[in-house]
């Protein structure tokens, strides 16, 4: 079955700098890759997603890139702000039973 | 965006009793619902996947007789923790999807078994 690995587990960046979180997946049939942000004590919320027919997607300060050949995708956050501090999860999904396989999460810390 | 409502938000129960958690999709039909368990500072651990009208598919290591899942309609799924014990104390969270669309999460349920 699918396996998703996420790195790093913790990322600390200076406010205003960029942050990059990377995920790899194992199932070449996976075709949907969302990124979720979970603030402490709250539910995960989708921040951006990408499907396998696209290589890159951007939404203001957030972008996701997908390399299907290498089977990895990355989250890029530019001009980081204190409110970006949270745990970020990547996931991969194939058509099958619509199941999402999750990465282990990255705790992003924005230093003032 | 779409709304998934999960109740209760927190519950305290005595060891040996059962607890039911509800997950409702308020403005869309959830063809698939997922139940997760999340330990502090850890990722989401999938417990089971349920499709409306069919039996849930449990992940390896999850006791189906202990964690009863019912997905009776396209807007409601329930998780019942039977004969709860202190080690079942955790944060349980559901999510719902319509086909391959975005998955929306409930607000989670903090279960404490005393």
Supply the Cα-derived Rg of chain B in whole angstroms: 13
CB B4 within 8 A of CB B21: no
Strand partners, B55: none
The answer on pLDDT for B90 being more than 90 is yes
Q: Out of A49, A97, A102, name the one closest to residue B49 (CB).
A: A97
Q: Out of A34, A89, A104, name the one closest to residue B102 (CB).
A: A34
Percent of chain B with pLDDT over 70: 99
The answer on pLDDT for B13 being more than 90 is yes
Contact A100 B106 (CB under 8 A): no
Q: Out of B43, B93, B107, name the one closest to residue A105 (CB).
A: B43
CB B112 within 8 A of CB B11: yes
Mean pLDDT of B90-106: 91
Low-confidence ranges of chain A (pLDDT < 70): 95-97
Percent of chain B with pLDDT over 90: 73
Q: For position A95, what pLDDT does the model report?
A: 63
Q: For position B72, what pLDDT does the model report?
A: 82
Q: How do residues A73-85 score in pLDDT, each as one tens digit?
A: 999 999 999 999 9
What residues in A contact B23, CB-CB < 8 Å?
A: none
Contact B97 A103 (CB under 8 A): no
Pairing of strands B19-25, A56-59: unpaired
Mean pLDDT of B62-85: 94
Contact B105 A89 (CB under 8 A): no
Q: For position A96, what pLDDT does the model report?
A: 66
Highest mean pLDDT among A96-105, B8-17, B39-48: B8-17
List the structure tokens of B110. Answer: 């903090």
């Amino acid at each position: 079955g699918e396996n998703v690995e996420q790195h790093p587990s913790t990322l600390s960046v200076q406010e205003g700098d960029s942050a990059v979180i990377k995920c790899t997946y194992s199932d070449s049939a996976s075709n949907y890759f969302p990124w979720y942000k979970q603030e402490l004590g709250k539910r995960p919320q989708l921040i951006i997603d990408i499907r396998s027919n696209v290589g890159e997607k951007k939404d203001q300060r957030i972008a996701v890139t997908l390399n299907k050949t290498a089977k990895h995708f990355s989250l890029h956050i530019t001009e980081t702000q204190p409110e970006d501090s949270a745990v970020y999860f990547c996931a991969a999904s194939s058509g099958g039973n619509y199941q999402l396989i999750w990465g282990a999460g990255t705790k992003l810390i924005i230093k003032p | 965006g779409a709304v998934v409502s999960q109740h209760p938000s927190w519950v305290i129960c005595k060891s040996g009793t059962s607890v039911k958690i509800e997950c409702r999709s308020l403005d869309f039909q959830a063809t698939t619902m997922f139940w997760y368990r999340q330990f502090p500072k850890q990722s989401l651990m999938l417990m089971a996947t349920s499709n409306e009208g069919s039996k849930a598919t449990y992940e390896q290591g999850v006791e189906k007789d202990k964690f009863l899942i019912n997905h009776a309609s396209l807007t409601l799924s329930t998780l019942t923790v039977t004969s709860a014990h202190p080690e079942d104390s955790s944060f349980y969270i559901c999510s719902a999807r319509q086909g391959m669309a975005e998955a929306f999460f409930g607000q989670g349920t903090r279960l404490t078994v005393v």
